[in-house]
Amino acid sequence: MTYTISPLPHVKSRESVKSVMWGTVAALIPISLAAIYLFGFPAIKIILATVVAAVVAEIIIYKAASQPITIDDGNAVLVGLLLALLMPPSVSDHIWVPIIGAVFAIAVAKYIFGGTGTLVFHPALIGFAFLLAAWPTFMGAQSTPNLGGFSDLLLETGAGRLVESSPALVLLGGAIVLYKRYVDRRVALSATILLILLILITGKGWQLPYVLTGGFFLGLVFLAADPITSPVTKRGRLIYGILLAVLILIQLHFGAYFTGMCFAVLMMNVFSPLIDRSTIPKPIGGK
Amino acid sequence: MKIATIKTPDQVIIPLQQHAGAACNPLVRVGDTVSIGQLIGDGEFRIHSSVSGEVTALSEMPHPSGKDVLSVVIKTRNGEKKDINPEELHAGTIKSIIREFGIVEPNGLSTVSKKVDIDTIIINGTNTGDLSSNAALMLDHPSEIVYGLKALMESVGAKKAIIIIELNSEALHVMRTETIPDSNIKIVATPAYYPAGTENTLVTKFARKKVPRGSTPDDRGVLVSSIAAIKALYDAVHDGIPMIAKTVTVAGAVRSPGNVLVEIGTSVKHVIDECGGCSGTPVKIVINGAISGATQYSDEVPVIKTTSGILVQTESDINREPPAPCINCAWCVDECPIGLMPHLLYGYADSAQFDKCAELYISDCVECGMCAYVCPSKLPLVQIIRYGKHGVAEMEGGTMEAEA
């Protein structure tokens, strides 16, 4: 009788990279459906275009570089879906624009930086920033959401982007991924709570309705607290969330709402390794 | 009765090393007749025969640590179930009692290691994962455990004792009832968490004393012991019986799992057979818990003083998923009881950057296995961190102490 010999542990949790990525995708499905309900065919067109473009780009690039293809881990689908949600529905008239964004996200932000796990910037945000710089006219939202009442929380009729169609559904997805720890709780909660407090303290309370929309919740929970690009140390994650809130507040001061939030997250991504390196904890027992 | 007794095996293999440190010297020769409780090995911790019979071999035999260890093989004399002769309890310090009766903590060390002033005793009564022998011992022998604890408290001069038990354990109520008259013994209920057995975290959490790095809890006047050692102490002090049996949890793919009282030296195979045998094809045999236990090459290895559980796994219990890249999810950082950065240690050790490993306090790792348990990328964190520890030890010119 021969027995298997292995290092400990001899049981492992059920969570895997696949369950983390696909679980996050699943948490974004309600808001995607709400976007389709509100915007109709253009929303379907954009979501399909970016997801398929991201997946195809990943297959082609990884095949060309003779690297193992890891489409089944769901990362490309997640990047494509997140990018689609950042788009205004009007871009569906020029569907090549989001397609280029998705390809750019995978090719530059993901592949060149070393693939899943070694990223510096969030690929979906890089794709968005690239499109914003290259074709600003197509990226402009037709309207800016303003949370006026309870019905706006469920279905925001003034939504300018797919993700802004329903703050409540983004929060629902956010609550799921926070509960399952698919995104980092410390970053998401510290940034969200501090941002709201800062807005109230600095007397910019009139801006709150513009901030409590789906776009900001998506940015703070799904983009900023993304495990790959946020810091790892316990203190570092809090610092990251706090700095992010301050940075967003500065952007708000100059009237940049949704795009300001996206660029604040991208800027914080730069500091993530530095924050990690300077907050290495001491083990139990101190010095 | 939570603890079942099993048939005495036909043969026992008693290793002369059942603790951390040097092996004992054998006191018997092949052909000798030994009786139960007779001293057969002398050294740091004495070793006694767990059966009556004849010594048939004195050779290197399989050992749960994975190495072969000089062992005394005793063929049990059939039909003779002689009562044990209580050993004379010599008046002496607790240290000499522990040595004479061969009482070993589950971590392979002595309960009392240094001569220091002890103020608090912490007894770890928690169970993790598949192990339940602590709860079973407390349910079956509550008064014996309190007796043993009082003896220990008196001999080291401790003013108070804390027994830590999980909130949902049946033993909580039993032990609370048992300790009503003793105001200096406190039962603390804790939510089940792992790893509860790290001494320094226990002391920090329950005795509220910070143990600085590089020192042990007894430097701060806290002594950490276990239910198994306290029960053995009772047997020694009250009945004069040395540590010749151990309560072991048999779990996993066996027909009737549970806690059994096993003579030291009984082979794992005999224990599993007495628990109804394996259900399904056994693929992995793990001693001492599913998370931090050690896999065995053979089911011929004996149960020793530090054994507290036997787990049998079938193919469906084993996760053979290949590792994926680290995604920086920080779950390992959140889980680490010591406050290390397991994923960084993994990365540096994997690329042989041992100086970086040392900077990140790799030697503080207690190998609880929690980082590799939660890792969604299924990285072999503990294996690589162990490699890193060896690398750091080599780099610093020292030699890594072999783990028992």
A225-236: pLDDT as tens digits: 999 999 999 999
pLDDT tens digit sequence for B326-379 = 998 999 999 888 889 999 999 999 999 999 999 999 988 888 888 999 999 999
Q: Does A280 contact B at CB distance below 8 Å?
A: yes
Nearest residue of chain B to residue A114 (CA atoms): B325
State the Cα–Cα distance between residues B383 and B399, nearest whole angstrom.
18
Q: Does A155 contact B at CB distance below 8 Å?
A: no
- What confidence tier does A253 reach under pLDDT thresholds 50, 70, 90? confident
* Torsion A166-A171-A176-A181 (CA) sign: positive
State the Cα–Cα distance between residues B292 and B306, nearest whole angstrom.
14
Q: Between A241 and B2, name the one with better pLDDT.
A: A241
Closest CB from B200, B327, B337 relative to A227: B327
Q: Between A210 and A275, name the one with better pLDDT.
A: A275
- The helix-helix angle for A41-64 and A96-104 (nearest 10°) equals 40
- What confidence tier does B87 reach under pLDDT thresholds 50, 70, 90? low
Structure tokens at B65: 């640590």
State the Cα–Cα distance between residues A217 and A233, nearest whole angstrom.
23
Q: Edge-to-edge strand order for the sheet containing B222-226?
A: B185-190, B160-166, B120-124, B222-226
C-alpha distances in angstroms, B327 versus A20, A166, B347? 10, 29, 12
From B133, B127, B124, B106, select the one nearest B258 (Cα to Cα): B133
pLDDT tens digit sequence for B111-142 = 777 666 788 888 888 887 788 888 899 989 98
- What confidence tier does B98 reach under pLDDT thresholds 50, 70, 90? confident
B278 is in an annotated binding site: no
From B401, B400, B337, B347, select the one nearest B369 (Cα to Cα): B337
Q: Does A110 contact B at CB distance below 8 Å?
A: no
Domains of chain B from N-terminus onward: 3-84+244-313 (no CATH), 103-239 (3.40.50.11540), 331-395 (no CATH)
Q: Does B70 contact A at CB distance below 8 Å?
A: no
Residue B367 distance to chain A (closest CA, Å): 8
Residue written as token pair 């903590």: B105
Q: Does A68 contact B at CB distance below 8 Å?
A: no
State the Cα–Cα distance between residues B291 and A8, nearest whole angstrom.
6
Is A145 in contact with A215 (CB distance < 8 Å)? yes
Is pTM beyond 0.80? Reply is yes
Per-residue b or e along B80-103, where b marks 16 or more CB atoms closer than 10 Å to that residue's CB: eeeebeebeeeeeebbebbbbbbb
Average pLDDT over residues A252-272: 89
Average pLDDT over residues A89-101: 93
Strands B39-42 and B47-48: antiparallel
Closest CB from A181, A227, A282 relative to B339: A282
Domains of chain A from N-terminus onward: 17-275 (1.10.3430.10)
Query: Degrees (nearest 5) of the Cα angle B337, B339, B343?
Result: 100
> How many CB atoms neighbour CB A193 within 10 A?
14
Per-residue b or e along A144-174, where b marks 16 or more CB atoms closer than 10 Å to that residue's CB: ebebeeeebbeebebbbbbbbbbbbbbbebb
Range in A115-119, B256-260, B327-331, B387-391 the model is least confident about: A115-119
| Phi, psi angles (nearest 5°) of residue A200 | -70, -45
Q: For position A229, what pLDDT does the model report? A: 92
Average pLDDT over residues B218-229: 85
Nearest residue of chain B to residue A273 (CA atoms): B328
Q: For position B368, what pLDDT does the model report? A: 86
Residues on chain B touching A118 (C-beta within 8 angstroms): 325
Is A241 in contact with A189 (CB distance < 8 Å)? yes
Average pLDDT, chain A: 90
Q: Between B230 and B194, name the one with better pLDDT.
A: B230
To the nearest whole percent, how much of chain A has pLDDT over 90? 62
- The helix-helix angle for B171-178 and B142-156 (nearest 10°) equals 60
State the Cα–Cα distance between residues B59 and B297, nearest whole angstrom.
18
Per-residue b or e along B382-403, where b marks 16 or more CB atoms closer than 10 Å to that residue's CB: bbbbbbbbebbbeeeeeeeeee
pLDDT tens digit sequence for A169-223 = 999 999 999 999 999 999 999 999 999 999 999 887 777 888 888 888 899 999 9
pLDDT tens digit sequence for A52-69 = 999 999 999 999 999 888
Count interface pairs A-B at CB distance under 8 A.
156
pLDDT at B197 over 60: no
Q: For position B403, what pLDDT does the model report? A: 43
pLDDT at A126 over 50: yes
Average pLDDT over residues B182-209: 77
- What confidence tier does B152 reach under pLDDT thresholds 50, 70, 90? confident
Residue B54 distance to chain A (closest CA, Å): 29
Supply the DSSP string of B328-392, one letter for each residue.
---HHHHH-SS---HHHHHHHHHTT-HHHHHHTTGGG-----HHHHH-TT---HHHHHHHHHHHH
Residue A3 distance to chain B (closest CA, Å): 5
Average pLDDT, chain B: 85
- What confidence tier does A103 reach under pLDDT thresholds 50, 70, 90? very high
- Beta carbons within 8 Å of B74's beta carbon, 6+ residues apart: B11, B12, B14, B34, B49, B51, B53, B54, B55, B56, B265
Residue written as token pair 């990362």: A75
Range in A13-27, A72-86, B68-82 the model is least confident about: B68-82
Burial (CB count within 10 angstroms: exposed 0-12, middle 13-18, buried 19+), residue A180: middle
Give the best-scoring range by mean pLDDT among A250-254, B106-110, B387-391: B387-391
Find which of B211, B313, B328 to mutate to test the A interface (most A CBs within 10 Å of its CB): B328
- What confidence tier does A75 reach under pLDDT thresholds 50, 70, 90? very high
Residue B202 backbone class (left: φ over 0; alpha: ψ -120 to 50; beta: rest): alpha
Structure tokens at B282: 């056994």
Q: Does A9 contact B at CB distance below 8 Å?
A: yes
Average pLDDT over residues B72-82: 74
From B157, B144, B211, select the one nearest B184 (Cα to Cα): B157
Average pLDDT over residues B294-310: 90
Is A98 in contact with A83 (CB distance < 8 Å)? yes
Query: Degrees (nearest 5) of the Cα angle A263, A78, A11?
Result: 120
* Torsion B233-B237-B241-B242 (CA) sign: positive
pLDDT at B404 over 50: no
Q: For position B402, what pLDDT does the model report? A: 45
> How many CB atoms neighbour CB A259 within 10 A?
18
CA A184 to chain centre: 12
Structure tokens at A192: 């969200």
State the Cα–Cα distance between residues B377 and A196, nearest whole angstrom.
35
Cite the DSSP H helix spans in A202-233: 208-211, 214-217
B357 is in an annotated binding site: no
Q: Does A6 contact B at CB distance below 8 Å?
A: yes
ipTM (interface predicted TM): 0.89
Burial (CB count within 10 angstroms: exposed 0-12, middle 13-18, buried 19+), residue B119: middle
Is A105 in contact with A83 (CB distance < 8 Å)? yes
> How many CB atoms neighbour CB A197 within 10 A?
11
Nearest residue of chain B to residue A75 (CA atoms): B327
pLDDT tens digit sequence for A163-173 = 888 888 999 99
Strands B68-76 and B33-34: unpaired
C-alpha distances in angstroms, A165 versus A40, A159, A168, A215? 12, 5, 9, 9
